[in-house]
Amino acid sequence: MLEGQLIHSRSPRFTCAPRILTAFRDFGPEHDRILRCDRRFVVLVAGRRWGKTSLGLYKMFIHAVSSFGRICYYIGPTERQAKEMAWRALVEMVPRELMRCCRRSALEIELKNDSRMQLHGPQSLRGTGLDFAVLDEYAYMPADLWPEVVRPMLADRQGQALLSSTPLGFNHFYDLYQEAQGRPDWAAFHYPTSRGGYVSESEIELLRSTMDPRLYAQEIEASFEVQQGRVYHAFSPDLNVTDVDLVAELPVLVGMDFNVNPMTAVVAQKVGDECHVSAEIVLRNSNTFEMMEELNRLYGHCQGVVHPDPSGAARKTSAPVGQTDHAIIEQSGWPVYFKKPYPVVDRINSVNALLQNANRQPRLFIDRKCKHLIRSLQSLTFKEGTHFPDKSSGLDHVSDALGYLVMAVFPMVRDGVWLTQVLM
């Protein structure tokens, strides 16, 4: 049953008179195609902020309200994410006259027709028969969740499912999307963010100018992109390496990593909306005291700020005196600026976006003499099977120092909010 049709129930206790659903009239024609699709299983590939979560919740609600005693699950990548992404929207979606009770602690809404809608993560799902399931951001869930857990739960009740996600490389979600196009009881849909109607053209252009090409293609255009082994895949010697001079009139910005061997720092300046890295400092078997002595020797005459590893506010690498790294920097005459700890992926995405955006425009320029930084950006790879840099190579320290500076001065944010979070 679709928006605009009458609701009927076989339940004698479902006393609400037939009425017309008015929720979510702002769905566009692409959303309507999926709502009207009569295939048992639907795979939806769509960019961020296309409306996947709202559509999935609405389709689940329609399924629950259209018949007596249905059991419907919305499943997110984790239970916490399911709650954050969907609980408030679901509560606001269900008219009070159709709701029997709302159990926040169980993330469950029971309707007056005895149907139940619940929110879950991938854990502890076995054993329950389902009439309808939504797997939201399935690309970020375990590969076996659908074939081994959720699909059998739909068998005895001949249930239906919507599996939606933004792509994450050529993983299990890509395989399912390909398979769905050749199965008679399946349907497959593919839309970029721009086709959802929720994000304006000007915002799309902002995202294009602030996200690196691969991330933009994946998150906004909903393209299945190769998950390259290189952490800083946007780095190009032709685009990013040049001759960079220190501008006397501008403050010096220092990114610093507190590893003992090597202790590293990068020296940069903000020139307009660009980051110009003019030098690097790499000290073997060193510590924060020696790094600050070297920084003062080279740049003590300059006005500047140090942007260090945020964890240095608590970690005490200078055990003899029990001081934090940040305190040592400040005692050496340099102010410290840092953000609270953030996901590593945000730091990597921000550096890649600065190296070049989706318009192939660089805003990060590195002097040719920064050999260690250039090598790190060229060669640092992800640990196999993960999205974390491989630290065993020892290449990560100097690019981490750059990342701390970028996060402080050139983060991929707008109005104080992470663009990647805005697009969830």
- Rounded Cα distance, 205 and 192, in Å: 14
**Structure confidence at residue 314 (pLDDT):** 61
Which distant-in-sequence residues (6+ apart) come within 8 Å of 43 by Cβ? 163, 164, 176, 177, 180, 186, 187, 188, 189
pLDDT tens-digit readout, 125-168? 877 899 999 999 999 999 999 999 999 999 999 999 999 999 98
How much is the pLDDT for 413? 56
Q: What is the pLDDT of residue 343?
A: 86
pLDDT at 313: 65
All structural domains of the chain: 29-199 (3.40.50.300), 237-422 (3.30.420.280)
Q: What is the dihedral of CA 89, 93, 96, 98, to 10 degrees?
A: -130
pLDDT of the residue at 288: 94
Quote the pLDDT of residue 195.
Answer: 94
Residue 86 is predicted with a pLDDT of: 95
Whole-number pLDDT of residue 6: 32
Model confidence, pTM: 0.67
pLDDT at 321: 59
- State which residues of the chain have pLDDT below 50: 1-24, 318-320, 414-424
In this predicted structure, what is the pLDDT of residue 171?
87
* Amino acid 316: pLDDT: 53
How many Å apart are CA 98 and CA 253, to the nearest integer?
A: 59
